[in-house]
Amino acid sequence: MLAKSEGRRAKEQAIRRRKLVRLLKALRKLRKVAQDFEAILISEWWEHFQPSFSSFSGETPSAGSDTLNSLAIQAMSAGLAHRGGLGIARMLVRQLEPSLHRGPTDQTGSKIKMASSG
């Protein structure tokens, strides 16, 4: 009898561990996607304002400068976002993280039953 309860306890612990690992992976992915979104948003803002501070009046841009400027803006945006940025990614994660704990739901908020893969 004792062996059965220990076996059951070990199974339950293994299931909890797998759920925790899945949750941590999902949280890591959510953080990355939120940071990438923030980087794209910052990049778009900088691209919009870039012409106002990038060249002197009457100066003709050199060949390839648009491409280099765009790459520089993307790199700066990604760096800024991955170091905390404007807080947009943090805000998104804070709003979306509870849904990771609840699991997938449909538009009405009803839990979706997932087919087990194991």
In a 13 Å sphere around the CA of 37, the CA atoms on its Cβ side amount to 13
- Its pTM stands at 0.66
Tokens standing for residue 76? 């700066």
Q: How far apart are CA 71 and CA 76, in angstroms?
A: 9
Average the pLDDT over 81-100 and give the result: 90
8 Å CB contact between 71 and 48: no
Dihedral sign (CA 102, 99, 36, 77): negative
pLDDT at 93: 93
* Residue, of 62 and 117, whose pLDDT is higher: 62
What is residue 114's predicted lDDT score, i.e. its pLDDT?
60
Find the mean pLDDT for residues 81-89: 88
Q: Which of 17-21, 75-79, 102-106 has the lowest mean pLDDT?
A: 102-106
Q: What are residue 7's DSSP bridge partners?
A: none
- pLDDT category, 118, cuts 50, 70, 90? very low
Q: Can you tell me whether residue 108 is helix, strand or coil? A: coil
Average pLDDT, stretch 90-115?
Answer: 78
Structure tokens at 27: 């949280």
Cα angle 47, 53, 54 (rounded to 5 degrees) comes to 75
- Rg over alpha carbons for the chain, rounded to the nearest Å, is 23
Q: Indicate if the pLDDT at residue 105 is higher than 50.
A: yes
Residue 20 in this model has a pLDDT that exceeds 70: yes
| pLDDT, mean over the chain | 82
